[in-house]
Amino acid sequence: MNNVENCYRCFEKYPGVCRWKKLKLVFTFVFLMVLHVNANTFSQTISYSKSNVSLTDFLKVVKSKTNYNIIAKGNLLKGKVLKNVKLVNTPLEEALQQVLFPLDLQYIMEKKAIIIIEKKEDTRKMSVVTKVNYMPVQIAVPINQQEKIAVSGTVKDSLGTVISSVSVTVKGRSGIGTTTDQNGRYILDINKGETLIFRSVGYAALEIPNVEKPTLDVMLTSVNQGIEEVVVTGFGTTQKKESLVGAVTTISPKELKTSSSNLTTALQGRVAGMIAYQTSGEPGQDNAQFFIRGAASFGYKTEPLILIDGLELNSTDLARLQPNDIESFSILKDATSAAVYGARGANGVILVTTKRGREGKAILNFQLDRNTSAPTRNLELADPITYMIKANEAAINRSPEAVTPYFQSKIDATIAGMDPNLYPANDWMGMLLKKSTTNTKANMSIRGGGKVASYFVTGSMNTDNGILNVDKRNNFNNNIKLNSYSLRSNVDMKLTSSTDLAVRMYGNFDDYNGPLNGGSAVYSSIVNTNPVRFPAYYKPDEANEFTEHILFGNYQSSEGAGFYNNPYAEMVRGYQDYSRSLMLSQLELKQDLSEILLQGLKLRFMASTQRRSYFSINRKYNPYYYMLDEGSLMNGVYNLIQLNELTGSNTLDYTQSPKEVATSSYGELALNYDQVFADKHSVSALLVGILRNSIESSAKTTSLQTSLPYRNLGVSGRASYGYDSRYMIEVNFGLNGSERFHKDSRYGFFPSAGVAWNIANESFWKPMSDIVKQFKLRATYGFIGNDAIGGPEDRFFYLSDVQLNNPAMSYSFGENFTRNRPGVSINRYDNIFITWEKSRRLNLGMDLNIKDFTIVADYSTDHRTNILMNRAFIPSTMGLAAAVRANVGKAKSEAFEASVDYNKGFASGYWLGLRANFTYATNRYLVYEESEYPKGEEYRSVVGNPLSQGYGLIAERLFIDEEDIRNSPLQTYGEYMPGDIKFRDINRDGRITDADRVPLGFPTSPEVTVGFGFSMGYKGLDFSSFFSGLGRRSFWINYGATSPFIGDQRAFLKAYADDHWSEENKNLYALWPRLSSAVNNNNAQQSTWFMRDGSFLRLKQVELGYTLPEHWLSKLKISKLRVYVLGNNLLTFSKFKLWDVELGGNAFNYPIQRVYNFGINLTF
């Protein structure tokens, strides 16, 4: 606009200098006029007939039918009423003229925006067509005396990705603005020195003052809780964060980026209100456990509902999801947010929406990651010499006359490094495990579309390898290798101006190869093996010179005795293959009923089907074991003794697990209404009906009842009203039916309601609005039902489960009792009174935006009643054969969560983001069916304690000597001696029994989770770091599982070797008590002695990236190239040092991995 005016003035003043500009202008004018005529031929049309309708309502229809954004000054449209509108297939431009001209308004069309401005009758106008983003635009140009400049540039995010549909406006001048195109470019004519404002959903607004140069590239920083942020709230509906009543948290997909191919591992510390932690790092078994606001029930199902594109999926499906495919990630935490999902949302809801196509040319994105992973911390074992010395000590500790397992001559020969066949010293950990491994991730997507159809198609391939060091003498590889493939196609079509159709297809496939029983079993095998009895394998003797199989080492103390564990043989003797697949298809139809029935009314139908399958095959052989003939070796002859000639084999055999096949179908019909009246009254409503049917055949299908289809249906609704963006009220309900309950209680009705007050929009707040942009208080209260009680096998509580032919209950009769018949067993009695578990929830929240800081805080309670339990005491005289259950349990959880975000972009190209969140979630039993305890022993009751509370004895110290033992209460758990654990007599009855068990430490599930980090960058360079941690969590070292020398096999942890009680070191507070060659039952009691603090803080992620300048890439037709290095789990701060503290008591699980990643991201 203004660049044309400037050229016109320049030509008048300097005709000789600017003649070429005039010719260029004329050529451009003629060329664009031709394009404009052609565009008008195919312009969009509007059909609309209504009387006495507000201009705002009319423009909403225009927006919904054309996908144009409407831009106008806040009060420009206020009070404008259209008396009589009759438009029948009228071109959009003509329709706007007919409607706006009588109201003294005019419009500007720039790219995908219609800007409404006032008609300037007193200014001189000329009709021109100017080039804006290479699109024809017809505008009216007022001539004034201010100096004009045409400002253009590109808008990107902090990672260098271009942002489309960014609103670019001039501060203080309504109606002047544009939006960025699909390449993030914009052009706008302004007065020199004016201030530009850049706004986009999900990003902090950026003001650039005193713009005087024609080129201005800007960078926007993402903001998680912005006022303008649009939040997905379920069933295809969205709400502005400003008008939200419930507790909903959103995560930017960029925050979920991780070097791991498992998305769930990125959740820890990222979301306020979510507790997440890992207990294994093994590929395919490394899903994080996560709970929303902790577990509120002691029923069998406590995990949240996971919905991806509206379909219910499981945690493994979420784990396989690629961050690059995610458009939005929301967590619904309170009653009003989750109520529309009925019983399925009793434990909270995770909503994930994948990307859709966009109008514009095809954009191809390719990302490749290559990483190296290694354990964060490996178990340290004592060396073989120490093992033998301490094994001898353990043997005589309990019985001084016992025979020691190792002669001193063997110890000395091993120290001297003599014949390793006779004096082996195995480092099983170093032999069987590599220091690190490499993994690969690749993802490619293409996104684009036109006015009728758009598409997003993506595919990915991840390869995760284990750290097992496999001998190449086998002709198969049994190291862990998990190949995961996924393919997604999202196609959206505009059938008519009011009808949209979406077709989505998705497939995910896992192919696994690995050790027979998994990687954790290999670790367990290593620590359950003697390091000095035999080598992993022997070199051939003369008799086996031509033997083709491996001569695996072993030991047999006497003929007929069992074999020892050889972890090398166990690892290489075979391998497991499994295949898991998921295929789903989804169809969604949306119909705008605004012109047919009611303005703002929309109908949506969605149907989908899923197919799942899983099978595994084990292929293995029985190793041939050998031991050294020590007698012949003394005569200078190397000879081996074969131990299992009859049972060993050279050939592979196979076994297969029961195949798992499942199918499910889902239907959903939703009616949605959303309308604003008189620019102040916002009314919306949602009514949804669902139907789900699923059936499976697997190892879980053990009876007629479990073989029947699983079915659920429900109706739910939501209604909300908002006044002037200040006061909001919302009511919800769920009417759910469950097949599990008797017809008298099959349906449950669960209502909820919430209110919110946006104080920052009050008139009295205006003086502070520049500082405090948002200040909203929220409160919700409601009920949710849960039918996932008992166990998955409890299909129909109102039907008995009787087995009429149970061989275990057989009886014999007849002469000599030769005749036999199976008996009858009762697994469950029918119970028509079992009904819904109920959740009563309260949530009080606050949203605050101070300058560039966004603060969100929530306090919530969840009171669970009707929790299903076994009755604690049923007299045996009743003759009942199965447990009797009833809805008698009660529990309560409370949570406080808060998050703080800071995002700031600067005109210089520098940007900074800070984020932190904190969650404290605790729970306790209110009513629990248990035995009555004697007076004075009420502390034994679980009531009032957390659901995952640990119980045990209080350990005072280790016994000093026999005198100390005689003067102490009698401990009733078996033999104990000086150096064993001494317990406290709580009830003072002179005996240590189960009556002395008390609650110990914190719960085993963490009550506190924290996360904090920063991101910063300058132009193309970016750097970020994130910490996460868990607190108020206890776990126990498993005494029985880690006791050394058990069966002459168990390894000796180095920490135990360095700090244990002995006759030479009578440390009463040593880490490990008196050594023993068998598990000492006294020391094995759960107690404070082996309780450990499970809290930790971890440097979860560090990333450094660089986006190359566009002018370097333009010749290669590359729009973006970013390279980066990324590290995960780099540092851990914890008091516990024996193994990775996040594993808790799972010492022998496959360790959590530290990952170093290099990646490249290309966009064409």
Highest mean pLDDT among 457-466, 629-638, 766-775: 457-466
What does DSSP assign to residue 435?
A: S
- Paired with 983 in beta bridges are 955
pLDDT band at 842 (very low <50, low <70, confident <90, very high): very high
1160: tokens are 């490249």
Q: Which of 369, 528, 273 is nearest to 1049 (CA)?
A: 528
pLDDT band at 135 (very low <50, low <70, confident <90, very high): very low
pLDDT above 60 for 563: yes
CA torsion sign for 514, 520, 521, 524 is: positive
Average pLDDT, the chain: 86
Which residue ranges make up each domain of the chain? 1-145, 150-220, 230-357, 537-564+621-657
For residues 842-853, average pLDDT? 91
Give residues with Cβ within 8 angstroms of 417, minimum separation 6: 425
Q: Which pLDDT does position 299 carry in this prediction?
A: 72
**Fold designation for 230-357:** Ferric Hydroxamate Uptake Protein; Chain A, domain 1 (2.170.130)
pLDDT band at 633 (very low <50, low <70, confident <90, very high): confident
Q: Which pLDDT does position 394 carry in this prediction?
A: 93
CA distance 493 to 505: 15
pLDDT above 70 for 230: no
- Residue % of the chain over a pLDDT of 70: 92
Taking only Cα atoms into account, the Rg of the chain, rounded to an integer number of angstroms, comes to 36
Task: Give CA angle at 953 (950, 954), nearest 5°.
Answer: 105
pLDDT above 50 for 366: yes
Alpha helices, DSSP H, located in 869-998: 962-966
- Residue 823's SS3 state is strand
pLDDT above 70 for 75: no
Highest mean pLDDT among 92-96, 173-177, 308-312: 308-312
| Residue whose token pair is 């074999």 | 563
Q: Which pLDDT does position 20 carry in this prediction?
A: 38
Determine which of 417-421, 788-792, 981-985 has the lowest per-residue pLDDT on average: 788-792
Q: Which pLDDT does position 593 carry in this prediction?
A: 92
pLDDT above 50 for 785: yes
- Paired with 783 in beta bridges are 840
pLDDT above 50 for 800: yes
Domain 150-220 in CATH 3.40.50.620: no
Alpha helices, DSSP H, located in 161-267: none
- 1123: exposed, middle or buried (C-beta count within 10 Å: 0-12, 13-18, 19+)? middle
Q: How many CB atoms lie within 10 A of CB 540?
A: 14
Q: Which pLDDT does position 1043 carry in this prediction?
A: 94
For residues 942-955, average pLDDT? 95
Q: Which pLDDT does position 1147 carry in this prediction?
A: 86
CA distance 380 to 1052: 9
Query: Residue type for 897, please?
Result: E
For residues 702-716, average pLDDT? 85
Give residues with Cβ within 8 angstroms of 667, minimum separation 6: 606, 607, 690, 691, 692
The crossing angle, in degrees rounded to 10, of helices 2-13 and 19-41 is: 150
pLDDT band at 1006 (very low <50, low <70, confident <90, very high): very high
Q: Which pLDDT does position 159 carry in this prediction?
A: 65
- The answer to whether the beta carbons of residues 305 and 344 sit under 8 Å apart is yes
CA distance 359 to 111: 12
pLDDT band at 683 (very low <50, low <70, confident <90, very high): very high
Q: Considering only residues 1022 and 222, tell me which one the structure prediction assigns the higher pLDDT.
A: 1022
Q: Which pLDDT does position 1018 carry in this prediction?
A: 87
pLDDT band at 530 (very low <50, low <70, confident <90, very high): very high
For residues 1137-1141, average pLDDT? 93
- For residue 194, the Cα-to-chain-centroid distance in whole angstroms is 45
pLDDT above 70 for 942: yes
pLDDT band at 703 (very low <50, low <70, confident <90, very high): confident
| Residue whose token pair is 């190793």 | 623
pLDDT above 50 for 586: yes
pLDDT above 60 for 1091: yes
pLDDT above 50 for 924: yes
β-strands 1021-1031, 1096-1107 pairing: antiparallel
Q: Which pLDDT does position 144 carry in this prediction?
A: 42
- Residue 635's SS3 state is coil
pLDDT above 50 for 619: yes
Determine which of 50-59, 347-356, 573-582, 1104-1113 has the lowest per-residue pLDDT on average: 50-59
Q: Which pLDDT does position 560 carry in this prediction?
A: 67
For residues 877-882, average pLDDT? 87
- The answer to whether the beta carbons of residues 1043 and 1066 sit under 8 Å apart is no
pLDDT above 70 for 111: no
- For residue 329, the Cα-to-chain-centroid distance in whole angstroms is 9
The crossing angle, in degrees rounded to 10, of helices 384-398 and 408-416 is: 170
- Residue 1049's SS3 state is coil
CA distance 156 to 161: 5
912: tokens are 């900074």
- Per-residue model confidence as pLDDT tens digits over 301-340: 788 999 999 999 999 999 999 999 998 898 998 888 888 8
- Residue % of the chain over a pLDDT of 90: 51
pLDDT above 60 for 729: yes
Determine which of 57-61, 346-350, 956-960 has the lowest per-residue pLDDT on average: 57-61
Task: Give CA angle at 311 (308, 315), nearest 5°.
Answer: 55
Q: Which pLDDT does position 201 carry in this prediction?
A: 67
For residues 456-484, average pLDDT? 90
pLDDT above 60 for 39: no
Q: Which pLDDT does position 977 carry in this prediction?
A: 94
Residue 1038 region by backbone torsions, left for phi larger than 0, else alpha for psi between -120 and 50, else beta: beta
Give residues with Cβ within 8 angstroms of 813, minimum separation 6: 819, 820, 821
CA distance 68 to 1137: 60
For residues 790-814, average pLDDT? 85
- Per-residue model confidence as pLDDT tens digits over 1009-1053: 999 999 999 888 999 999 999 999 999 999 999 999 998 889 999
Torsion angle in degrees (nearest 10) through CA of 933, 934, 935, 939: -40
CA distance 125 to 117: 14
For residues 191-211, average pLDDT? 83
pLDDT above 50 for 31: no
For residues 472-483, average pLDDT? 86
- Per-residue model confidence as pLDDT tens digits over 386-405: 999 999 999 998 888 888 99
pLDDT above 70 for 7: no
| Residue whose token pair is 């530290």 | 1154
| Residue whose token pair is 């808060």 | 898
| Residue whose token pair is 């959880």 | 893
**pTM for this one?**
0.80
| Residue whose token pair is 């199989």 | 549
CA distance 129 to 167: 22
CATH of domain 1-145: 3.55.50.30
For residues 557-575, average pLDDT? 86
Give per-residue burial for 64-85: e unless 16+ CB within 10 Å, then b: ebbebbbbbeeebbeebebeeb
pLDDT above 90 for 116: no
CA distance 440 to 879: 61
pLDDT above 90 for 166: no
